[in-house]
Amino acid sequence: MKLSHKLYPFQNSDPTRKSLGDIIILHGLFGSSKNWVTVARFLSNFGSVYTVDQRNHGDSPHSEEHSIRLMSEDLEEFIFDHKIQNPVLLGHSMGGLVAMYFDLTHPGILKKLIIQDIAPRSYPFAYDKEIQSMSFALDGFTSRTEIDSEMAKYVTDSFIRQFLQMSLDRNEDGTYRWKLNVDGLNHARRVFDDVFTFEKTSETPTLFLLGGESEYIRDSDFGVMDHFFKNNHKIKIAGGGHYIHFTHQTEYLEILNQELSFHS
C-alpha cells in the first residue's frame, strides 16, 4: 500500500554538522502524521524526517485488512519507494509495535530504533469508547463544538477527544467526516494479539522511551524487551503517561537530542 507522508528536510544552522540520515516516525492507533509536527521539526536538525500516515489513518488508503504484519509490509514498501538507507525508526504505541516487528523481521536495515511506551507483547483492544465516540452519524452537525459535545457522552477525557478530532475533516460543503477508517479499525480487534510469537531477536541499538506512570508498561515487560532487543536501554519520564511526546515535550525532546547527538 502506498502511504501518505510529510517530509521535513534536514536543516541545521551549523554548517559543520552533517545529517545522520533519514528518520521515520510511525504514529499510534487513531493518530496520524499531524500529531508529530513539533517532534518532526525538532528532529530535522539531525536528518530528513518522514512522518507517515499508516493504513486506515490520516490521508493513507483505507483497507478492510489491518494488522501489524501488513503495516510492516507497508513500511517496507515505503522505505524501498523512497530509497531510504539505514533509517532511524521512531514508533509510538501501535507504531512502536510495527517498528519492532519490522526490525525483527528485517535485520540490519535500521540504524537505530526508538520505541515510545509500548512493549513487544500482546495488548487488548480496549478502545470501545473511542470507537463509539466516532461512530455516530455526523449529518446535521454544523460545528466541531457540537461534535465534541456528542463525543463527550462516550469519552469524558477532553485530551483524548482533541487527539481523536485531529482526524476530523470538514468537507467543502460544510459537512464533517472522519479520515480514520473507523469501521475498519473496529473490525480489527485482534490487531495487537499474538504479534511476537517467533524466536527472532535484534541487535539494533534500541531506546525504549517510557512514561513513568503509563498503563501500557508493566514490570514484566522489561524482561520481554531484553529478550527480543539485545542492545537496548530504557529511559522513563517521571510522571509521564502514554503521550509523553506531547505532555512532557521539553524533557522528551531533550532525551532525543542526547540520543541522536551521540550518533551524529
135 and 38 in a common domain: no
148 and 51 in a common domain: no
Is residue 227 scored above 60 in pLDDT?
Answer: yes
Mean of the pLDDT values across residues 15-44? Answer: 95
**Beta-ladder partners of 262:** none
66 and 31 in a common domain: yes
132 and 83 in a common domain: no
Nine-digit cell at 178? 472522519
159 and 134 in a common domain: yes
53-72 residue pLDDT tens = 999 999 999 999 999 999 99
115-146 residue pLDDT tens = 999 999 999 999 999 999 999 999 999 999 99
Q: Is the dihedral of CA 258, 255, 53, 199 positive or negative?
A: positive
The structure's pTM equals 0.96
55 and 120 in a common domain: yes
199 and 88 in a common domain: yes
Mean of the pLDDT values across residues 156-180? Answer: 96
Q: Residue 19 belongs to what domain range?
A: 5-124+190-261
- Indicate which CATH number applies to the domain containing 249: 3.40.50.1820
| pLDDT score for 12 | 81
Contact between 49 and 23 (Cβ < 8 Å): yes
Averaged pLDDT score across all residues of the chain = 96
What spatial distance separates the first Cα and last Cα of the chain, rounded to whole Å?
32
Q: Cα-atom radius of gyration of the chain, to the nearest Å?
A: 18
233 and 137 in a common domain: no
62 and 168 in a common domain: no
Domain termination site, one of 162, 186, 210: 186
pLDDT band at 263 (very low <50, low <70, confident <90, very high): low
Is residue 245 scored above 70 in pLDDT?
Answer: yes
Is residue 262 scored above 80 in pLDDT?
Answer: no
Instruction: Give the H/E segment covering residue 233.
Output: strand 232-237
CA dist 159 and 224 (Å) reads 30
189-212 residue pLDDT tens = 999 999 999 999 999 999 999 999
CA dist 7 and 14 (Å) reads 21
151 and 232 in a common domain: no
How many CB atoms sit inside 10 A of residue 237's CB?
A: 20
Total of domains in the chain: 2
16 and 110 in a common domain: yes
Domain termination site, one of 153, 186, 219: 186
24 and 9 in a common domain: yes
Largest CA distance in the chain: 57
Domain termination site, one of 148, 166, 186: 186
> In which residue are the cell numbers 522505505 written?
79
